[in-house]
Chains A and B, each alone.
Chain A
Amino acid sequence: MYQPQKIIISPEVRSSSLVKIIIHNCPSIPIEYCNINKDSPYLQEKNNLVITRNKGNFFKPCPGTSNYLCCLYKILNIGLNCPLSCTYCILQSYLEYPALTIHANLNEMFEELDRLFTQFPGQIFRIGTGEFTDSLVLDHITELSKILVPYFARQQKAYLELKTKTDTIHNLANLDHQGKTIIAWSLNSSRIAKEEELGAPSIEQRLLAAQKCQNLGYKLAFHFDPIIFYPGWEKEYQKTIDMLFSTIKPSHITWISMGCFRFMPKSKPIIQEKFPHSRIIYEEFIRGLDGKMRYLEIIRQEIYSKMISWIRQRDPKCFVYFCMESPKIWRNCLGYAPANNEELKSWLDQCCLRIIK
Chain B
Amino acid sequence: MQNNISLTLQPMDIEMDKVNLEHQPYIIQYPFSHTNANNRQRELISCIKQYGLFAPIIVQKTKKGNIFIVHGANRFLACQSMGCSTISSRVLPYSMQDQKVYLFSLSLFLSHKKPNSMEQAKIIKKLLSFFPEKKIIKDYLPLLGLPQNEKAFSRIIQLADLEKDIAQDLAAEKINPEMALRLVKLPAPERIQIYRFLQQLPFTTSQQFEVLEYIQEISLRDHIRVKKILTDQLILDILSKDQDQRQKALSLRIYLRKKRYPRLTTKEHEFAQEKKTLRLPDHLELYPPAYFEHGNYKFELKFADFSEFEQKANFLHKLAKNQKFQTIIKS
Contacts and interface: CB of A to CB of B under 8 A. Distances in A.
Interface of A: 279, 282-284, 286-289, 296-299, 326, 328
Contacts of B303: none
Interface stretch (B124-132, B289-297, B321-329): B289-297
Given A296-B293, A297-B292, A282 B220 contact: yes
Given A296-B291, A296-B293, A283 B264 contact: no
A283 B261 CA distance: 8
Given A279-B220, A283-B221, A286-B291, A298 B267 contact: yes
B221 A279 contact: yes
Contacts of B293: 286, 296-297, 326, 328
B263 interface: yes
11 contacts: A279-B220, A282-B217, A284-B261, A284-B263, A286-B291, A287-B291, A296-B267, A296-B292, A297-B291, A298-B267, A328-B293
Contacts of B220: 279, 282
Interface of B: 217, 220-221, 261-264, 267, 290-294
A101 B294 CA distance: 38
A303 B290 CA distance: 21
Given A286-B291, A289-B294, A296 B264 contact: yes
Contacts of A284: 261-264
Contacts of A326: 293
Contacts of A328: 293
Contacts of B221: 279, 282-283
A187 B291 CA distance: 29
B217 A286 contact: no
Nearest to A299: B263
B217 A296 contact: no
A326 B267 CA distance: 20
Nearest to A300: B293
A283 B292 CA distance: 17
A326 B292 CA distance: 13
The 7 closest A-B pairs by CB, nearest first: A282-B221, A286-B291, A297-B293, A282-B217, A282-B220, A284-B261, A284-B263
A289 B296 CA distance: 13
Best-buried of B264, B293, B294 by chain A (most CB within 10 Å): B293
A296 B294 contact: no
Contacts of B292: 296-297
A288 B293 CA distance: 9
Nearest to A273: B185
Best-buried of A282, A283, A289 by chain B (most CB within 10 Å): A282
B286 to A, nearest CB: 19
Best-buried of A286, A299, A326 by chain B (most CB within 10 Å): A286
Nearest to B219: A282
Nearest to A329: B293
Contacts of B261: 284
B291 A298 contact: no
Contacts of B217: 282
Nearest to A285: B261
